[in-house]
Structure 1
């Protein structure tokens, strides 16, 4: 029960404090991929601590320590034997873990099905209003507003308006479309869908709300960096200036938008990338966030396992 309480307290504290700590990380803009992993690991850590807290409260450490067979037997007893569920704490623990999983499953399905429906509707409209340009490898829409975005999915593609084509030089068009292709190849819509799932399932949790905002910003920085591998940064910056006022559909990923001007400054004045030790420290932090709750939950079971088998060894 002590481990269950510690995990619950950790989850509550992390959900409230980690957003402030991670938001202060000045290195995030220098390594957006690592920063995305950090926010994802922090969110997963809070969810895991909640689930493992309920598990630790429901299943005695001695059961875990006596092996998987005993654990499966105990789970069967929890489901079938009313006497096993005689304590209020066990009933509550099983109910809480079930509700958490059900809430996550429902929210995830709602997010994925909702965005898929909107994207399919938009794709049907593009099939009528747009034309595929083989040279650009993008769908061109006759529209005066300057827009460039990608429509993710199984048959995802980049979209650009004639207004954007008229205002951008050819090298700028190539740079901004490389940005959109980076979104498609990186499956960034799935990264955002995972963040959306947590905010929808648990709307009052500060960590999940801040993670959604930061991840949406960081995937744009990451796409900029991928595009900058093949195109001069000044071309990306110039394209962002001209597309800054354009707003892509909510279910798409666009090159412009509210973060465009900040990204222009980043493109024109890039900071040095993280060195090897800084990256190693970041990866270690991600590993600790992911493995910490699980390791803590396993401590009583491992202790019981060692005590049980050491006793058997000494009795021989």
Structure 2
């Protein structure tokens, strides 16, 4: 029953949940919370799939009744050796399936992180040769005919602006767009994007993961806009986005412009009302439920059996 529940939830989470999250009208009002919900939904689906594999072969109440025996068996295994033939084939299959799900997610995410690190390192070497650091701006200026502003995250982050952008943007707009890029660096948005990209590559045909990648790319830009708007007028951010709308930042960097630039301009000029306290609390609770839900479902019967076993033992002693 537990395996069936977790498997059914996995199916619903990967197909129906992305539709609900994508249609949420409040996501633009709280992009950081929306990012958390998307990533929590992905983690929830992966965890439920892995736990469903385990639960299909290991009865949940066995964990509760035999927890002490399991600990004793582990010590005995260390002393006497491990007999693989004594483990049922179904348990091996469940363990392998669960391990493959987790390993694929981890491998694809690590591959994206490594590729991004390698490309950023190459780009940083190019900047050291062709760029020049501008002390007043706190950014590297690159001689280039296309107006661009982007950041190069990592251990030694850099903010980059091209000479064409310097000639196009007013000082106020330039300061606003540099604040946007520094918000990307401070928020470690490159790690968030790498996680979403890695999971979408690990499970490419599942709507939840492809939707999460698409939405996270958009939401991190909204979040950086909001952080920059704390210190700079929104009209300056909007004007900078218009000036940089046609630019394309290099791969594995975070640029101020992009496909969502025009929608972000409207958002800057017509800001929505932020979420109130209870709406934020509901969102945080939803994140917690998504993260902890599969584990709670998988462990509930075992914990219930464990409590019942101890209560029975105590009643006998009494």
TM-score above 0.5, yes or no: yes
- The 5 A counterparts of 1:1-316 are 2-66=1-65, 69-72=68-71, 80-86=82-88, 88-316=89-317
| Contact map agreement 1:192 1:212 (CA 8 A) in 2 | yes
Q: Distance in 2 between matches of 1:255 and 1:9?
A: 40
RMSD over equivalenced CA pairs, Å: 1.8
Superposed displacement of residue 91, structure 1: 2.3
- After TM superposition, give the deviation of residue 203 of structure 1 in Å: 1.1
Gaps of 5+ in 1: none
TM-score (normalised: structure 1)? 0.95
The verdict on how the C-alpha distance between 1:63 and 1:128 changes in structure 2, with shifts beyond 3 A counting, is: same
Cα deviation for residue 25 of structure 1 reads: 0.3
Q: After superposition, give the CA deviation of every residue in 1:5-42 in whole Å (9 maximum; x if it has no partner).
A: 21111111110001101011000000001110110111
Query: Would the alpha carbon gap of residues 43 and 301 (structure 1) be closer, same or farther in structure 2, given more than 3 Å must change?
Result: same
CA contact (8 A) 1:241 1:261 kept: yes
Unaligned runs of 5+ in 2: none
**Deviation above 3 Å: which 4+ runs of structure 1?**
66-80
The TM-score normalised by the length of structure 2 is 0.94
Conserved? CA contact 1:51–1:97, under 8 Å:
yes
Number of residue pairs matched by the alignment: 314
- Partners of 2:60 and 2:298 within 8 A in 1: no
Q: State the 1:302 CA deviation.
A: 1.0
For 1:145-199, what per-residue CA distance to the aligned partner results, in whole angstroms no more than 9, with x for missing partners?
Answer: 0000000100011100000000000010000000000000100000011111111
Task: Assess if the C-alpha contact under 8 Å between 2:245 and 2:257 holds in 1.
Answer: yes
Q: 1:80-138: CA deviations, max 9, x gaps?
A: 3334422x432220110121122123212211111100000111111111011111011
1:25-67 Cα shifts (integer Å, max 9, x gaps) = 0000000011101101111100110121122234333442147
